[in-house]
Structure 1
């Protein structure tokens, strides 16, 4: 696609940089940002000698960070960014009904780290195991992990669907590829591990294909060398980000790594891919970066750096057409970024506030934004026609931080939205959300959904 000139500028006073796959990378610092149930943000400086020695702590959500966070709440809530919460449900003439339908639990008691939907199946990641539930009757459809050994691959950080396959991101720096072999029996088979042996052999001879990751230690550019933290799929390409600060792009059809970009100065916690080909990465360095291909080019380059958050960026979400970006961080605010055609750049239009602790997950469903937080709640936001927002309701039922959200419109139930929320309390709560006009009692229409495209 042709990337417009507005991407060449930044949202604030920031500078674009160029990257190369064989750049020398300094080793990551051992500091960890730990978001626990008892506090919004705290710093844990416990050392870690290598990626292989990292262990997941199921009771906390951890991201890498080089900097300590300010404890002053006025700084954390971004007072310089205006609030977009200027509407009420009454002003929008809306009525909302929410119902917790049921609660699902993994086969073995564990914290729920990630949720994803594909067709009528809910994939729930708990530690190193994936439990698959049927969303029509809420029964367990399948359960799988690597080599029947739940500790061999470390915890799973993320899951994505691309080209009819299932990709899981692991603590051990690998991405694993699965195939559903039988829809009736419910059997998932491991078919590949990225990078593949062929990809390694293709690159291992030439010295230029290695990057320096530690003193006296190098890795192939096709390899992540720290935990793979997030995945996003678009246009038969898989995008992976890691605490090693790199963004990598893979072809789903043959599992080849086509690009490796040193994307940030600190660990990358989130990635989102737009339908038009742009890639957004959110990092512990407090920045969001936009990547795209210039007209006629094959490689992605840095197009813009978005800087407004005061702490590590944990979550990113795009609206259905990719024109609005939402970002959540430890500063407890959700920032809304919109394309400003007249000014030829992307700007932050305002903040959504209400959560009392760090934002851990964001999704956009049927023109609704849902946010999950370490404060144990889920908030549902609706956008008015003039760009102002309203917090329609708060879903309160989890005993620990809400780590992941996923939702889908129910076409056969009058426009209701089914929402799944996963928490460190080990439960997946299933909610039915119905929003309608108070005057005529008709549901709000949903734009075309991309949830079940595989």
Structure 2
């Protein structure tokens, strides 16, 4: 960790690796979705009827093409992670709860006694959550009662961890760690990514590594010491390429070689970025044509795959650190500590800030984007944003919306040298 490092947006706490887990207890969640009377649900200013969500009719011509259509506020903690799949939205906060929303109403919830939820990712019926204790939990809804979620696995499992601990002579010479340490993150899990095609889950951590897990049996098959500081983002993309961004200020490219069932390993390819400001977020366009990175100086850099990942430019739209990124269609969304979301429109390699979404009263920490509807005139996206103001907002954004606002922001000299996000 560099001198002057700061952990932004996270409670201060001391962390130690633990060999124990709540897996020894009931594997079902101890959370009840039915809050007691007087649950701290706050009314949203966009929510006059008092229901948790208030959604405008997106087909209504009175609905702005780019704008806020719903908001939820709960006094239960900062929102650190979001994942959207179909009509379901999963939200993670430092309350340890993962809440599930369906069609904009509270549907279910589950909880793990393992610290705040830093990352959520969905694969079919399974939900993967990354936690402060360095483990990944796997959840699934009950077939009999879809509102009840139960935990079906932990990565690594207690059995697997202790099994490795019984064989301390198995040592990773490069890291001088026993296999038991090698298969478990020893700090916060900050990010998750899936490669559905080959059945791999990637987890990045503040312990400076990313690990590779087989989804078939949830075993750790590789641990890569990737950076000199916390890994803030990991993304698996087409043709076996993996991108990692770190608080050490670098973006690195890795290439998967070998087969999952045999000698799979990830080879370092190149460094795309190496600077003083921490890399806080990564995003890749659907076809892998563009790679984006957000940094603590408020800049979004991008690289073009067809030009052998040559640097394509920098998008200057924020006054403070970029904390999250998402790409959908021809649009790129960047959320920032300045409380704003910039919507960038890509045409060729040119990017224009077509809209600025404002409404949060705290840093925008996470984003999730899903297709809202098919149209003969425009593609419209539903954008979820989670903030440290403890709210989640829902936006409707069209790729063909007129330019609502363009930003000209002076360069910001207050850079964070090293930060964990």
TM-score w.r.t. the length of structure 1 is 0.71
Is 1:175 the counterpart of 2:141? The answer is no
Q: Which residue of 1 aligns with 2:270?
A: 304
Q: Which residue of 1 aligns with 2:238?
A: 275
Q: Which residue of 2 aligns with 1:422?
A: 386
Deviates more, 1:391-400 or 1:198-207: 198-207
Deviations 1:72-106 (A, max 9, x none): xxxxxxxxxxxxxxxxxxxxxxxx82231111234
* Pair 208,32 (structure 1): closer, same or farther in 2 beyond 3 Å: farther
Aligned to 1:276, what secondary structure does the other structure show?
helix
Q: Which residue of 1 aligns with 2:399?
A: 435
Is 1:365 the counterpart of 2:328? The answer is yes
Deviation of the 1:306 alpha carbon:
1.6
Q: Which residue of 2 aligns with 1:153?
A: 114
Q: Are the aligned partners of 2:168 and 2:179 in contact in 1 as well (CA < 8 Å)?
A: no
Unaligned 5+ segments in structure 1 are 1-27, 38-43, 53-95, 147-151, 439-454
Q: Which residue of 2 aligns with 1:33?
A: 6
Residues 282-301 of structure 1 correspond to what in structure 2 (within 5 A)?
A: 282-294=245-257, 298-301=264-267
Paired residues, number: 349
Q: Which residue of 2 aligns with 1:188?
A: 149
Distance 1:398 1:100 in 2: 11
Is 1:206 the counterpart of 2:167? The answer is yes
Unaligned 5+ segments in structure 2 are 19-63, 403-421
Residues 4-403 of structure 1 correspond to what in structure 2 (within 5 A)?
A: 32-35=5-8, 48=14, 50=16, 97-106=65-74, 108-127=75-94, 128-134=96-102, 136=103, 138-146=104-112, 152-162=113-123, 164-182=125-143, 185-210=146-171, 219-235=180-196, 236-294=199-257, 298-341=264-307, 345-385=308-348, 387-403=349-365
* Pair 47,177 (structure 1): closer, same or farther in 2 beyond 3 Å: closer
Distance 1:433 1:245 in 2: 36
Aligned to 1:220, what secondary structure does the other structure show?
helix
* Pair 419,211 (structure 1): closer, same or farther in 2 beyond 3 Å: same
Deviation of the 1:415 alpha carbon:
2.7
Is 1:407 the counterpart of 2:407? The answer is no
* Pair 284,212 (structure 1): closer, same or farther in 2 beyond 3 Å: farther
Q: Are the aligned partners of 1:211 and 1:219 in contact in 2 as well (CA < 8 Å)?
A: no
Q: Which residue of 2 aligns with 1:68?
A: none
Higher relative contact order (CA 8 A, sep 6+): 1
Deviation of the 1:298 alpha carbon:
2.3
Deviation of the 1:368 alpha carbon:
0.4
Distance 2:242 2:271 in 1: 12
